[in-house]
Every structure is written in C-alpha cells, then in structure tokens.
A and B are shown apart, each in its own frame.
Chain A
Amino acid sequence: MPRLRELQLGFAAALLDGDGDGFDRHIRAAGLSSARRLQVYRHNTVLSLTGALAAVYPVVRRLVGEEFFQYAAAQYIKRHPSRSGDLHEFGEHFPLFLQSFPPTAGLIYLPDVARLEWAYHQVFHAASQRTLDLAALAQVPAERQGELRFRLHPAARLLASAFPILRIWQVNQDDFGGDSTVDLAEGGVKLLIVRRENLDIEFETLADGEFSLLRALAGNGDFATACEQALATQPTLDLPACFHRHVLRGALVDFFLPNA
C-alpha cells in the first residue's frame, strides 16, 4: 500500500502537472470516471488561484479580457505555484511573468500596470504606523542631521514607469467617467502609493527630484546623500518644502541616528 506521502505527491502531480496517468488506480471506481472526479479538484484549485489573481489584478484583467486572463492565470499557476496557505501572498511574480509571456509582448505597458496593482495590494494589507515625532526630530543637532536615516511608511511604495500607468489605472476603474483614451506618448510617471490614516489609498505623482529623495531614504541612505542625489536629479527642487510635505503627510514615519 502506498504511503500517505506518496499518495499526496501523486495527487499533486495529477492536479498541477496534468500527470494523471496511473493515479486513477488509487480512486475507487463508482459511477463517474476517476478523470471527472480529479477534474473537480483541478477546477476548484484553478478557480481559487485565478480568483486570487483577479482580486489583485483587476485592471490587467480588464485590459486583456476575461478569457485571456484565465488562460494567462492557468499558465502562471503552473509556472509559479502558490507557496502559501494565505492566498493574499499569491501573485507576486505575475508582473515579471507578463513581461516574458509572448502573447502579451505587444502590451509593453502591461507589466508596469501589474506592478502598480501588486504595490496597491501590498499597501492595502501593510501595517499601520504612527506619524513621525516632529519634536524629537527638531532636537537632532544641526551638525548631525546629514547622518539621519528615515523609514518609509510600511504602507507606502515607490514606483517608476516609462508609461502613463496611473492614467491607465484610473480610466480602468469601474467608477471612472469621462474620456478613457490614453496616449502612451504622454510618457512615464513616478509614483508614491500610500495608505493614509483613514485607510484610503492615494497615488501621488512625484517630481524627479522628489522621487529620487524618497527612493534614497527608503533604501536606507543617509539624509545628506539623499539630498545630494535629489538635487543632482533636479537642481530646481525645493528640497525643504518637499521633505516637510512627506513628513507631514505621513510617507516618512520614523528616523534614527546611527551610532557615532
């Protein structure tokens, strides 16, 4: 008699790899064929995983259509099987998968739209965090301010794209009214996706220098270097105003001074 583990591995192969040959002999013959019985489980699994992808990527789904989305999801499930009992963790590699998926090669903006949706999904479920302690920040001696490190809000993500992905996202929302044409020639966008204290998720389009500042700080760069990079990217940037705005609006939530 096969051990439990062998049965489970055999079931898994029959389910995911379509390698059902031979597994039939473990299924009691009664009425419906073994193939149909296995098909119920295969269908349930694909339905559940496709549903999870559709919940995270509604705009991608709308852009490619329901039928194609199901086809792409089925391929994705085979190539990147779920690794968690928590379905919210499923779908992380979908943007990269779309990038190398020949049938969608013509939709050059699609992987970045998917990145935006994954970032939104992460922001939706991320931890909350109190706003930065301004009084404590004011007490940092001027000569040490350049060494400061800041932390981006756990429910914030930075994303840059060569395509107008925010506009694409917006015109593909169910409640969007108005002209839904998007001109790819309008160019790229640099975005901050952030969950506010009322739990609403907002997109902010950032100027080049602003994006550079936040990205450097989010990457644990020190304040002085981050400012240099921001100004090198955009010499006209009003750095103090830009910094204060992101502290006040809660994108930067914590700071520390490395030990001298």
Chain B
Amino acid sequence: MTAKPALSRLGPGSIPARAGIGLRAEHYDAFLETRPPVGWLEVHSENYFGAGGKPLHYLERIRTHYPLSLHGVGLSIGSTDPLDRRHLGKLKELIRRFEPTLVSEHLSWGSVGGRYFNDLLPLPYTEEALYHMVARVAQVQDRLGRPLLIENPSSYLQYVESTIPEWEFLTELAERTGCGVLLDVNNIYVSARNHGFDADAYLRAIPRHVVREIHLAGFTVNRFEDGEILIDSHNRQVWPAVWALYRRAVQRFGQIPTLIEWDTDLPELAVLVDEARRADAILEERHAQAA
C-alpha cells in the first residue's frame, strides 16, 4: 500500500460534543458537494475492509472535512470462537490509515463454530459471559493499542440463564477493561419495551464517566396476536419517546457526541441533517444550563 499522509494533519481531529451522522455510500457525492454542517461522521468499519476502490477513495476525501468514528458490526467480540485475527488486522490497518477518534463494537456475538450470522446476537448476562467479554475486550484493546467503546444492543429475547441486568453487565465491563460505553438510547428504549424494564433506571445505573458516545435511530413495531415487539430497524426518524429519553440521558451524562443512524430505506441527506440538528438543539439546551 502506498504511504498516505497522516490524516490528522489534513483533517479534523477530535469528535466534538455535537451530533454526527452515519455516512453511507448513497450520500458520498452529496457530502462532498454540500458539506453539510454536521459535527462528525461514523462509518461501519467493515464497509472499508476492501483493498481499494471507491469506498476508500471517498472516505479519504470526506475524512479531510470531518472527524471520524469507526463502528464495527462484524467482529463478533462476544463469540466463544477465537477472535478473527484477519478481521482485527484489517481494523487495525483502517485505524492507522484514517485515524478515527472513536472505535466501537457491540455487546454481542455474531458467529460460532466458524459460521457467521452477520447480526448482533444477544449474550446471556452471566458471570461466565462477563468474564469472557472482559478478556475479549482486553484482547482487542491490546491488539489495537487503544480503548474501545462497547454499545448496548437491542434485544428480542432474554435468556433464562441471565443473572445480571444488562446495565450492570455493561458497567462492570467498562470498569474492568477501561473501555468506554456507546450508549444507544434507542436500543435502551427498544429493549425496555421488549422486556418490560424501566429505561430511566437503565440510564441511572450507568456511571457518568463511562459514556463517550450516544446513538439514536428509528425502530419499527411488529404486532402479532400474542403481543408486539420493537425492532431496531434504522429505517426511519427517531421516535418522540426516544427523543424524550435522549433529553433525560443528556441531562444525566452531559454533552456527549451523538450519532444519527439510518441504514435502510435511506432518505435524502437533508433528512439526516435535520435529525442531527434536533439532537444538537438538545445538546445546546444542556450547555446553556451548565453555563
């Protein structure tokens, strides 16, 4: 690979305490042409694992204008299979090349016995699973030479075997490994509705100092004759109830960089920029109070 200039010298560095949006291929040109006033961008790391071509070309150009966060969806960090060294190697190379401010993964697993589901599957919240996740997060942080953020997933089932509430599991993981928490407020809302826990109690249980990033997205409600389930579908605007929960999260955690995620049925870029503006307004309210 040809040597690239260090991007920190070309482009912006740290993620500001503002709203950012997820960068998707459909918006590459719109980003370069209109340079919308969003604070930062996040991409799915795996979308840039190729050796060359358009994805890396565009990311390099867009990166010079915005701070960047790398969000992994495929590392399968919670799996009991050995960590995929090739995957980690590609992630490390991507980090070297693009100098992201934040690098995140999920509190989940996505493969076992060599088969991948390319989905975020739930972990049982047990002492054994906690011990396993602590070791795995530490291993990845060692390999990458930097701290990770770990995101709470949306979940659609709970294991009979679970003995630890998710908020405690996540907090323990952060305290024992030094990783940060990427708090997905939509996921908290979705899981709280699906499993009948109190979303605000979740927020109160997370220590203030571990939260480094917040995610917001839209969910879908699937209704059946025996009940309903909320699906973290990333295909629409943030729901009012989630905005309200977000406002309370910002009250508690302060001005935290917040990402608008939208992955399917992607709208015009302007719609995402508007969502980011709404998040910015809530962050600014908090700033005004603090001042």
Residues in A lying within 8 Å of B, measured CB to CB: 1-5, 7-9, 11-12, 15-16, 25-28, 30-34, 36-38, 40-41, 44-45, 48-49, 52, 81-88, 90, 123-128, 154-155, 195, 199
Contact = CB atoms under 8 A, between A and B. Distances in A.
Given A26-B159, A27-B157, A85-B116, 12 more contacts: A12-B113, A26-B160, A34-B157, A40-B156, A85-B74, A85-B111, A86-B87, A126-B52, A127-B51, A154-B51, A195-B53, A199-B54
A8 B79 contact: yes
A85 B112 contact: no
B119 interface: yes
Contact of B231 (A4, A40, A48, A155): A40
B93 to A, nearest CB: 12
Interface stretch (B35-43, B121-129, B171-179, B247-255): B121-129
Contacts of B52: 125-128, 154-155
Contact of B80 (A5, A85, A124, A125): A5
B146 to A, nearest CB: 19
B156 A41 contact: yes
A86 B90 contact: yes
B9 interface: no
Contacts of A32: 224, 226-229
10 contacts: A7-B159, A9-B113, A28-B157, A28-B160, A32-B227, A38-B157, A45-B117, A48-B119, A125-B52, A126-B50
Contacts of A84: 74, 84, 87, 116
A31 B112 contact: no
A11 to B, nearest CB: 6
Contact of A124 (B54, B112, B224): B54
B277 to A, nearest CB: 30
Contacts of A9: 112-113
A54 to B, nearest CB: 12
Please name the 9 residue pairs, one residue from A and one from B, whose CB atoms are nearest each other, closest first.
A85-B74, A125-B50, A127-B51, A37-B157, A82-B116, A31-B227, A5-B80, A8-B112, A40-B156
B46 to A, nearest CB: 5
A2 B128 CA distance: 10
B13 interface: no
Nearest to A129: B52
Contacts of B117: 12, 15-16, 41, 45, 48, 82
B1 A26 contact: no
Given A1-B161, A82-B116, A155-B53, A30 B80 contact: no
B118 A90 contact: yes
Nearest to A127: B51
B156 A88 contact: no
Given A7-B124, A32-B226, A81 B160 contact: no
A11 B115 CA distance: 12
A45 B227 contact: no
B233 to A, nearest CB: 10
A4 B126 contact: yes
B167 interface: no
A199 B53 contact: yes
A90 B129 CA distance: 29
B97 interface: no
Contacts of B157: 27-28, 34, 37-38, 40-41
Given A30-B195, A30-B196, A36 B129 contact: no
A64 B177 CA distance: 50
Contacts of A85: 46, 73-76, 84, 87, 110-111, 116, 118
Interface in B14-54: 46-47, 49-54
A26 to B, nearest CB: 5
